[in-house]
Amino acid sequence: MAGMNWFWRALGGRQGRDQKRSLGLVAAAAALEPELAELGDAELAERARAGRDDAPALLAALREISRRTIGLRPFDVQLQGALRLLEGDVVQMATGEGKTLSGALAAAGFALRGSRVHAITVNSYLAGRDAAWMGPLFEFLGLTAAAIGEADGPAARRAAYAADVVFVAVNELGFDVLRDRGALATGERVLSPAPVAIIDEADSALVDEALVPLVLAGSEPGASPAGRVTDVVRRLTRGEDYTVDEGRRNVFLTDSGARRVERLLGIGSLYDAAHVGGTLTQVNVALHARELLRRDVDYIVRDGRVALVDGSRGRVADLQRWPDGLQAAVEAKEGLDVTEGGRVLDSLTIQQLIGRYPVTCGMTGTAVAAGDQFREFYGLTVSVVEPNVPCIRVDEPDRIYATGADAFAAVVAEVLAVHATGRPVLVGTRDVAESEALAAALAEAGVAPAVLNAKNDEAEAAVIAEAGAPGRVTVSTQMAGRGTDIRLGGADGARRGEVVELGGLCVIGTGRHRTARLDDQLRGRAGRQGDPGSSVFFVALDDDIVREGGAGEELVVQPEDDGRIRDPRAAAHVDRAQRVTEATMLSIHATTWKYNKLIGDQRDILDERRDRLLATDAAWEELAAAEPARAAEVEAIAGPAAAREAARGIMLHHLDEGWSRHLADLDDLRESVHLRALAKESPIDEFHRAAIAAFKGLAERAVAGARETFRSVRVTAEGVDFAAEGLGRPTATWTYMVNDNPLSGGSAVGAIAALFR
Ligand code: ADP
Ligand code: MG
């Protein structure tokens, strides 16, 4: 850790002056402790309120309140973390340091200063857990805290969002924002304004999942993908009709392949304007589904349906689907009924969601490693908070093998060997198939592990909590962002002494992740709060990330009989490959970021207009000015109130319709600029120019369409029957997430997938 501090200072993070000042304020808070301990509850709460703008007074009062209400006396490092959060940083605190409490202390501080806080968690189970756990602290101060539950309806959500501190899972929040901004009356909305977001596991939300679009769709039979295209693609030959790039990220149709497709479909050139947007995309998508998406890695087939495996969490994702064309192509490939896609009404990325908050801060065990992204994309600074007790975990160097099979055998042998000593073992695997293969191999050897790839966060949390019990073997996919603490000796710590004696939790990784940060998330499960523990990764030279990142480099090494490679050049090769993969991901991120930023900005403009239409009679005024005779007529039939309601509904309908179409247009646009990029135009500039023009068109068309409807719509004494006039909203709406990364290990999102975002 000392080495990291030096590194961090060199990067110019908040070490030095700010950190020193923080420590001084925490020390000042500590000095107030004896005095505050003497106060009655009411006086203490009053002291917190009075001291809300004075850091030592506030922190001291919060420490005492925490002790009295939830029975935890915050450590100095937790106060320091809370302080850095209050100043708007991303705080790095290791796993098990008590970030939940730090976050809650900061939330209380913000709330006392009059700002509603959204405490954003990774999942709804954690939102509920944290709200219940930290609730008494807020109550003591006369503040309210609430959690949003997945099953909560609009009324329950509205009530919860009115609390001073709202614990909510990032996806739930995003979907509520989407539904709110499509509301047809202000009273339908559930959210209350909150200027502050405190994001737990901040790198998970802000970096790993930031570009995943949350989608609000309406039922309307979508363009079903041509079954013929799937058939044609099935007849193509790899290497002849198409090629797959080294990293298995992209498929390219060859010239002869294109001609073959043209012949089989009986069409002219695939690259004609007539086919580029339609048939060519379908062919590419079908190829993509055939070659790059692997059953039991990227998706599983269950109950006759394709269920996606969440790329970053490595488990089945209920709410996720791929962009419609891709989803349908995979369904076709598996011979399943093709589900119909609805029309996308609106979409939102987590990047755009977080951009709505004037104040953003967060905490994670691995903030420094994501420091570039936090700074570049969110303007956030990272603060490092040292662990309460120094970390004594032993991180062994990677054990490198020639092939995946060698590495797998070595992992099995290592798990069995460590298990034989009674030490608990946690194995982090990279995907569901691997976790199942490993569990099967271990069971074969007589050690049945607990396997985590269920869909129930709460049940999973209970299993993880036991992962530190003696003799336990737990196999999990992707531990990042799981948010459950692993105590040595089991959830109640009953057999702690025994496990400490044995050397603590042993963490084994079955391969490096796409970023070292995710490796660190896994390692961090061992050695919490100064516990003993160890970590080691088993790496194969034919692992995806080693091959992709190390492509083109010659590495001549001599494996030993069991495939192990001890040559130091192999370790350097693996590190370099991971860094290359990280860099590729970062640049893709930056590009996608720019696309999304523009779309987000446009939606903001539209929202302003939408708000005005909802909250005022602007729609009526505009239509009456444009169509005075018709306005007089409508008012005479329906009366002033219903006439205004009708005008509002008509305007909103055309605006929302226009936005939905605009989103579809932007998708097409992104696809075509991508193709044109070959002609040396900068795709993003090109996209900007065209997107801005399209947005102007949207506004004009919405007004023209509204005038047209206003003139022709049937009006009665009750106003306009929107449903009967075909102006209603879709009969059903639903939400889902688009899988950001259909390619497992897929650092570079393939061009095809990118087109859909
Ligand atoms: P993190 O999110 O940083 O991994 P948690 O917030 O889940 O950690 O807390 C980990 C454990 O530490 C919890 O069991 C919690 O009860 C305990 N804990 C947190 N703060 C304190 C404290 N000040 N004193 C004692 N135990 C604490
Ligand atoms: Mg946590």
Per-residue pLDDT of 136-165, as tens digits, reads: 999 999 999 999 998 899 999 999 999 999
CA distances from 656 to 666, 672, 700 (A): 15, 24, 13
Q: Kindly state the percentage of the chain with pLDDT values over 90.
A: 57
101-112 per-residue burial string, b: 16 or more CB within 10 A, e: under 16: bbbbbbbbbbbb
Residues 374 and 307 in one domain: no
Strand-pair partners of 506: 425, 534
pLDDT higher at 166 or 307: 166
Residue 689: what pLDDT?
86
Residues 142 and 291 in one domain: no
Residues 272 and 322 in one domain: yes
pLDDT higher at 432 or 623: 623
Residues 29 and 161 in one domain: yes
- Counting from 1 in the atom list of ligand 1, the atom nearest the Cα of 97 is 3
pLDDT at residue 756 greater than cutoff 70? no
Residues 316 and 360 in one domain: no
Residue 244 lies in a domain: yes
Q: Which of 384, 407, 441 is the last residue of a domain?
A: 384
pLDDT at residue 6 greater than cutoff 50? no
Q: How many angstroms does the Cα of residue 6 sit away from the middle of ligand 1?
A: 27
Residue 258: what pLDDT?
87
Q: What is the pLDDT of residues 286-320, one digit of tens each?
A: 888 888 787 777 777 877 777 777 655 555 666 66
Residue 334 lies in a domain: yes
Residue 325: what pLDDT?
67
Residues 167 and 25 in one domain: yes
Q: How many domains does the chain have?
A: 4
Q: How many angstroms does the Cα of residue 528 sit away from the middle of ligand 1?
A: 10
DSSP 529: G
For a mutational test of ligand 1's pocket, the pick from 68, 91, 97, i.e. the residue with the most ligand atoms closer than 8 A to its C-beta, is: 97
CA distances from 728 to 184, 201, 583, 724 (A): 10, 40, 47, 8
Q: What is the pLDDT of residues 59-109, one digit of tens each?
A: 999 999 999 999 999 999 999 999 999 999 999 999 899 999 999 999 999
Residue 622 lies in a domain: yes
**Section 497-518 average pLDDT:** 95
- 320: closest CA among 175, 205, 515, 220? 175
- Counting from 1 in the atom list of ligand 1, the atom nearest the Cα of 484 is 7
pLDDT at residue 456 greater than cutoff 90? no
**Section 427-432 average pLDDT:** 88
Residue 749 lies in a domain: no
pLDDT at residue 50 greater than cutoff 90? yes
The three-state secondary structure class of 631 is: helix
The ligand that comes nearest to the alpha carbon of residue 123 is: 2
pLDDT higher at 250 or 486: 486
Neighbours of ion ligand 2 (CB under 5 A): 99, 483
**Chain mean position to CA 41:** 40
pLDDT at residue 1 greater than cutoff 70? no
420 CB-near residues (< 8 Å, 6+ apart): none
Residue 754: what pLDDT?
32
Query: Under the phi-then-psi rule, with left for phi > 0, alpha for psi from -120 to 50, and beta for the rest, what region is 16?
Result: left
The CATH number assigned to the domain holding 244 equals 3.90.1440.10
Confidence of residue 755 (pLDDT cuts 50, 70, 90): very low
Residue 164: CB atoms within 10 Å: 21
Strand-pair partners of 421: none
Confidence of residue 246 (pLDDT cuts 50, 70, 90): low
The CATH number assigned to the domain holding 484 equals 3.40.50.300
Which residues does a 6 A CB cutoff place in the pocket of ligand 1? 72-75, 78, 93, 95-101, 485
Q: How many angstroms does the Cα of residue 158 sit away from the middle of ligand 1?
A: 30
Residues 371 and 316 in one domain: no
Q: Which domain holds residue 432?
A: 394-581
Residue 193: CB atoms within 10 Å: 8
Only one residue has tokens 């093998």, namely 401
Residue 608 lies in a domain: no
Residues 198 and 314 in one domain: no
**Section 694-713 average pLDDT:** 93
Residues 263 and 401 in one domain: no
Strand-pair partners of 360: 197
Pick from 196-210, 579-593, 597-611: least confident: 579-593
Smallest CA separation from ligand 1 atom 13, residue: 98
Residues 415 and 531 in one domain: yes
Strand-pair partners of 252: 243
Pick from 98-102, 208-212, 276-280, 437-441: least confident: 276-280
pLDDT at residue 751 greater than cutoff 70? no
DSSP string for residues in 425-490: EEEEESSHHHHHHHHHHHHHTT-PPEEE--S-HHHHHHHHHTTTSTT-EEEEE--TT------TTS
Only one residue has tokens 């042993």, namely 506
The three-state secondary structure class of 135 is: helix
Confidence of residue 747 (pLDDT cuts 50, 70, 90): very low
Distance CA 658, CA 177 (A): 19
Residues 566 and 709 in one domain: no
Residues 293 and 362 in one domain: no
pLDDT higher at 32 or 312: 32
